[in-house]
Structure 1
Amino acid sequence: MIAIRTMLAPLCALLLTGCLLIPGEFEAEMRIAADGAFDFAYRGQILIGDDSSDRGAVETTDNPQPGSFDTQFEEAIAAFTGGLNPNDEATIIAFAEELEARRGWNSVEYRGDGLFDVDYASSGRLDQDFLFPVMPDFILNFPMLAAVPRDDGTVRIVISALMPEPNDDDQTGPAQPETIGNGTFTLVTAAPIVSTNGTVSDGDVPGERIIRWSSDDPPDERPEAIIRLAP
Structure 2
Amino acid sequence: MTETSHRLPFRRALAVAALALLAAACIFAPGKFTSQIDLKKDRSFAFRYTGEILMIPLMKSEKDEAFEPSSCHDEESLEERTCSGDELAQQKTDWEESRAEKKKSDAQAAKMLLGGIDPSNPESGKELADKLRRQAGWNKVEYLGDGKFDVDFAISGKLDHDFIFPTFEGFPMSNPFIQVFARQDGTVRIDAPGFGPQSGSGAMAGMMAGMAQDTTGSDGPTSLADGSFAVFTNGEVLANNTDEGAASASGGKLLSWKVNPRTAAAPTALVKLSR
Give the TM-score taking structure 1 as reference length.
Answer: 0.78
1:184 — aligned with what?
A: 228
The 3 A distance-change label for structure 1 pair 7 and 124 is farther
State the Cα distance separating 1:190 from its structure 2 match: 0.4
1:193 — aligned with what?
A: 237
1:112 — aligned with what?
A: 145
The 3 A distance-change label for structure 1 pair 16 and 225 is closer
Q: 2:41 pairs with 34, 37, 40, which one?
A: 34
How is 1:1-231 mapped onto 2 (pairs within 5 angstroms)? 8-12=15-19, 14=21, 20-49=27-56, 68-166=101-199, 181-198=225-242, 199=244, 200-205=246-251, 208-215=252-259, 218-231=262-275
Q: Which entry has the higher C-alpha Rg, 1 or 2?
A: 2
State the Cα distance separating 1:229 from its structure 2 match: 0.9
Question: SS of the residue aligned with 1:99?
Answer: helix
Question: SS of the residue aligned with 1:39?
Answer: strand
Preserved CA contact (<8 Å) 1:13 1:77: no
Question: SS of the residue aligned with 1:79?
Answer: helix
State the Cα distance separating 1:74 from its structure 2 match: 2.1
State the Cα distance separating 1:150 from its structure 2 match: 1.4
Q: How far apart, in 1, do the equivalents of 2:181 and 2:166 lie?
A: 14
Cα deviation digits, residues 72-104 of structure 1 (max 9, x gap): 432222121111222212122111111011111
Length, aligned pairs only: 209
Cα deviation digits, residues 36-67 of structure 1 (max 9, x gap): 1011110000011175969xx9xxxxxx9xx9
Work out the percentage of aligned pairs sharing the same amino acid: 30
The residue type paired with residue 121 of structure 1 is A
Q: How far apart, in 1, do the equivalents of 2:181 and 2:239 lie?
A: 15
The 3 A distance-change label for structure 1 pair 161 and 16 is closer
2:206 — aligned with what?
A: none
Larger helix percent: 2
Structure 2 unaligned residues grouped into runs of 5+: 1-7, 66-96, 201-221
Preserved CA contact (<8 Å) 2:60 2:146: no
State the Cα distance separating 1:139 from its structure 2 match: 2.9
The 3 A distance-change label for structure 1 pair 228 and 115 is same
The residue type paired with residue 192 of structure 1 is E
Preserved CA contact (<8 Å) 2:191 2:269: yes
Q: How far apart, in 1, do the equivalents of 2:223 and 2:44 lie?
A: 29
Structure 1 vs Structure 2 CA RMSD: 3.3
Q: How far apart, in 2, do the equivalents of 1:71 and 1:221 lie?
A: 35
Q: How far apart, in 2, do the equivalents of 1:96 and 1:23 lie?
A: 16
1:171 — aligned with what?
A: none
The 3 A distance-change label for structure 1 pair 226 and 180 is farther
Preserved CA contact (<8 Å) 1:179 1:215: no
The 3 A distance-change label for structure 1 pair 96 and 150 is same
2:216 — aligned with what?
A: none
The residue type paired with residue 204 of structure 1 is S
